[in-house]
Amino acid sequence: MNSGKAGILIVDDRVENLRALEAVLEPLGCRIVTACSGRDALKLLLEEQFAVILLDVQMPEMDGFETASYIRDRHRTRAIPIIFLSAVSTSADHVFRGYEAGAVDYIVKPIDPVAIRSKVRVFLELYERGE
């Protein structure tokens, strides 16, 4: 199932955020796939596996929590680590909801590039070791 190189899925409804994160993570040298909605993310997840998903919480139509619940309900995608990205301050309630939805991490924007690169690198390595 984990065939091919580890890939990152970035989901955010704002294109400028997707471009910014792509630039930050590009030095990791892995495949980066972007989606601008929860639904587009689900379509991509039907076709391929990813080592980690960066998931914006505040999205129109289907927010990050709802998207994560679909991802978690499917056996094949249940174990993919999800890092939530939020513009809202980390109120305990919001963070708790994030972890309930299956997040392994919850990061508040604006994002520290060094921090997010190391966090993502960890999951890429875990994925490749897990084969």
Partner 1 sequence: MVPARLPVVVYAPTPPTAREQRCLDGLEGRVLIAAARSPEQLLEEVSAFLLDVKAVLADPAAPPEPVLAPGIFEGKRVLIVDDDVRNVFALASALEAHGMEVLYAENGVQGIQTLQANPEIDVVLMDVMMPELDGYETMRAIRALPEFSALPILAVTAKAMKEDRDRSIAAGASEWMTKPVNPDELLALIGIWLYPISELEPQVAL
Which residue, 44 or 111, is less far from partner 1 as judged by CB? Answer: 44
Instruction: Point out which residues pair with 82 in neighbouring strands.
Output: 53, 103
Decide: residue 52, CB within 10 A, 0-12 exposed, 13-18 middle, 19+ buried: buried
| Binding residues for partner 1 restricted to 47-106, rule: CB under 8 A | 47, 62, 70, 73-76
- x/- map, 27-56, partner 1, by CB under 8 A: ------------x--xx-xxx---------
Rounded CA separation 80/83 (Å) = 10
Query: Where does this chain bind partner 1 (CB under 8 A)?
Result: 39, 42-43, 45-47, 62, 70, 73-76
